[in-house]
Every structure is written in structure tokens, then in C-alpha cells.
Amino acid sequence: MNTSRRFFCTGMSLTVIGAITSMTLSQIAQAQGNVKKRVIPVKVQKFSFVPNRIEATPGEIIVLALSALDFPHGFNMPDFNLRMDLMPGKIINVELKPDKPGEYDFLCDNFCGEGHEGMSGKLIVKFQD
């Protein structure tokens, strides 16, 4: 009885060690840049994001490289709980890994003039046709 219980315990700890090891390996892979990221430059100016329609596949990692050209705009993606200030002359990189297919709006949330209300775009996440 005692012997079999000891074996059981050993098995458990081996499993735990295995899980920790595989997690560490995937973290090393990320640190080495083995994870593919697609960088998408986005120009931000009164009153548009260019491009204003960005497509991605579920699970893909994309980096929006946002540059404000003329004014301090804001970048807000409510579905991702994300907002950034975009100051002219700086590139702000926003890394996203959208897992679920769907359409996610983004918008300027810093009033920038008469066309501000229409300053928005969409991230469209879908499996490729």
C-alpha cells in the first residue's frame, strides 16, 4: 500500500515539472523572436486612420505602428480595453493577439476638430477564405 502511494506521488511531481519545462521553452521561443508578428503601419491624421480597415486571422499577433502626423490624437479600442495617446513625431506600437473572430472598432478619442466624430476604423478578425 505504502509503496504504490509513493509511486503515485512521484508521478505527480514529474507531471508538474514537465508542465513547467514546456512553458519555459515557449517563453524562450518568444524571447528569441520565433513568434511571428505582423507590423502594420497606421497613419493617423485629421480625420482618418490609414488604413482604417485592418484584417487579421484569429490567433495572429499584429503590431499596429501608430503615428500621428498633425495633432495629438487618441487611439481607443473599447473591446480590447485599450487606449493610447498618439503624439506627433512618435510611433506607438500596439501589440494585439485577437483570438476571436469578429469586428472590433477603434476610434480617436481626443477631440481634434470638426471631423473628429467620424474618425474611426475596424479590425476585422476572420479565418482566411
Q: How far is the CB of 73 from Cu ion (least distance, A)?
A: 4
Cell triple for residue 59? 490567433
Q: Are 82 and 105 spatial neighbours (Cβ–Cβ below 8 Å)?
A: no
3-state DSSP percent of the chain in helix, strand and coil, to 5: 30, 40, 30
Window 107-126: residues binding Cu ion (CB under 5 A): 108, 112, 119
b/e sequence 57-84, b meaning 16+ C-beta within 10 Å:
eeeeebebebbbeebebbbbbeeeeeeb
Residue closer to Cu ion, measured from CB, 98 or 121: 121
Residue closer to Cu ion, measured from CB, 59 or 70: 70
Q: How far is the CB of 110 from Cu ion (least distance, A)?
A: 6
| Three-point CA angle 126, 121, 94, nearest 5° | 80
Q: How far is the CB of 63 from Cu ion (least distance, A)?
A: 21
Q: How far is the CB of 53 from Cu ion (least distance, A)?
A: 17
Binder of Cu ion out of 42, 73, 94, 109 (CB under 5 A): 73
When asked if residue 42 is in the footprint of Cu ion (CB under 5 A), the reply is: no
| Binding interface with Cu ion (CB under 5 A) | 73, 108, 112, 119
